[in-house]
Amino acid sequence: MDARKDTVLKVQDLKVAFHTELGTAEVLHGLDYQLEKGKVLAVVGESGCGKTVHALSLLKILPSGGEITCGHIYFKNKDILSLSSEELRKLRGAKISMIFQDPMTSLNPIRTVGAQLTETVLAHRKTSALRAQATAIRLLKKVGIPNAKERMKEYPFQFSGGQCQRIMIAMALCLHPDILIADEPTTALDVTVQAQILKLIKDLQTQNQMAAVFITHNLSIVADVADEVLVLYGGYCVEKASVEELFSRPLHPYTQGLLCSLVSVRDKQEKLPAIEGYPPAAGQTLSGCPFAPRCPKACAKCHESLPPLFTKNGHEVRCWLREEKA
Ligand SMILES: Nc1ncnc2c1ncn2[C@@H]1O[C@H](COP(=O)(O)OP(=O)(O)OP(=O)(O)O)[C@@H](O)[C@H]1O
Ligand SMILES: [Mg+2]
């Protein structure tokens, strides 16, 4: 890998397949990106495009049947895919932390929040139980839980959805990870709470100079948090650019469609046509561009062969229409 000092994560040609009774289906078809220290990459795309599968691959925690069939994932200089299970265990949480969409599935409902947080600290840090408890209280305060000391004794059901997500963030951050992976951390929450949680993640990320991979299907919320955006479609990266560039000059018809539907919602204008049709199903064999069947600009070539990623000034786009201009 190239040795840029501040690269904390480098994903190279990552391919993932699922083996099921119906056969083997490739769901990620060769993903490439790198993430610098202190930067936020947003991974955006419709349901089923491979966002979560990509995130789970980063920690090698794919569900059964899932397999990384190709590629490399470097954390700093280490290839995560070649680590032993003990090395991986140390990496998870301590160096790379993940928060999920629904905190209730990650918190144990029958143990107090204090016990769970203290245990997480103790699992990775050599310290006394008393000190771990003090750390847990400090973390709860930091993520904005009032009366933190008293609330350590409470169970997850005694907290609101937004507070549970704050607790998950506290857990994810307690070991000062280098990278935070947040998979749709706010979709289960109402809009005001979503904004508060995003602000919290952004503040903590900036304070700790942490890198983050922020996964969402909602392009509108990434403008304020991301430095770079990667648009996934049907398991392919179809566009990647800085957040300013992507919002001001989207090049892929899919990204343009996503942005158009945002504008129509924001300005409460007559609704612009949403992107018609559905993304390809997992395992569906397509000879051309995965977006061609839905693309208003598709030509014959788009249906025949898969475009490569064309790059110009750091802006990557997988679209034949950009061939000459790249
Ligand atoms: N356990 C599994 N077994 C078989 N296929 C799976 C499994 N998990 C995911 N897939 C397939 O992998 C593809 C990508 O799924 P993934 O969960 O990554 O989508 P996503 O982008 O996170 O969607 P969402 O926005 O709904 O969370 C889908 O086509 C899905 O059917
Ligand atoms: Mg998902």
pLDDT digit string, tens, across residues 215-235: 998 888 888 889 999 999 999
Q: Which residues surround ligand 2, an ion (CB under 5 A)?
A: 51-52
pTM score: 0.90
Q: Mean pLDDT over residues 101-113, rounded?
A: 84
The closest residue, in CA terms, to atom 30 on ligand 1 is: 48
Name the residue with tokens 């202190």.
38
Give tens-digit pLDDT for 291-321. Answer: 999 999 999 999 999 999 999 999 999 999 9
**Dihedral of the alpha carbons of 40, 252, 244, 179, in degrees to the nearest 10:** 0
Under the banding of pLDDT at 50, 70 and 90, the label for residue 188 is confident
Quote the ligand 2 centre to 28 CA distance (angstroms).
13
The closest residue, in CA terms, to atom 25 on ligand 1 is: 47
Atom of ligand 1 nearest to the CA of 62: 1
Longest CA span, the chain: 68
Q: Mean pLDDT over residues 31-38, rounded?
A: 96
Question: Which of 11-20, 100-109, 263-272, 310-319 comes out lowest in average pLDDT?
Answer: 263-272
Q: Which two tokens stand for residue 108?
A: 């144990």
- pLDDT at position 115: 96
Give yes or no for a contact between 251 and 268, defined as CB atoms under 8 angstroms apart. Answer: no
Q: Is the pLDDT of residue 1 over 50?
A: no
Quote the ligand 1 centre to 14 CA distance (angstroms).
15
In angstroms, the CA 165 to CA 100 distance is 9
Give tens-digit pLDDT for 195-213. Answer: 888 888 888 899 889 999 9
**Secondary element (H or E) of residue 97:** strand 96-99
Under the banding of pLDDT at 50, 70 and 90, the label for residue 284 is confident
Q: Is the pLDDT of residue 237 over 60?
A: yes
Under the banding of pLDDT at 50, 70 and 90, the label for residue 5 is low
Atom of ligand 1 nearest to the CA of 232: 21
Under the banding of pLDDT at 50, 70 and 90, the label for residue 176 is confident
Under the banding of pLDDT at 50, 70 and 90, the label for residue 18 is very high
Which ligand is closest to the CA of 49, given by its number? 1
Q: Which residues pair with residue 10 across a beta bridge?
A: 34, 74
The closest residue, in CA terms, to atom 24 on ligand 1 is: 47
Atom of ligand 1 nearest to the CA of 282: 29
Higher-pLDDT residue of 42 and 171 is: 42
Under the banding of pLDDT at 50, 70 and 90, the label for residue 265 is low
- pLDDT at position 274: 67
Q: Is the pLDDT of residue 326 over 60?
A: no
Write down all domains in the chain, each with its CATH number in brackets. Answer: 7-95+177-322 (3.40.50.300), 106-176 (no CATH)
- pLDDT at position 260: 85
Under the banding of pLDDT at 50, 70 and 90, the label for residue 96 is very high
Quote the ligand 2 centre to 52 CA distance (angstroms).
4
Tell me if residue 71 falls in helix, strand or coil: strand
Q: Which two tokens stand for residue 60?
A: 């090698």
Tell me if residue 239 falls in helix, strand or coil: strand
Closest by CA position to 71, among listed 25, 31, 17, 43: 31
Tell me what the pLDDT averaged over the chain comes to: 89
Q: Mean pLDDT over residues 39-44, rounded?
A: 96
The closest residue, in CA terms, to atom 18 on ligand 1 is: 50
Higher-pLDDT residue of 245 and 125 is: 245
Quote the ligand 2 centre to 282 CA distance (angstroms).
14
Quote the ligand 1 centre to 50 CA distance (angstroms).
6
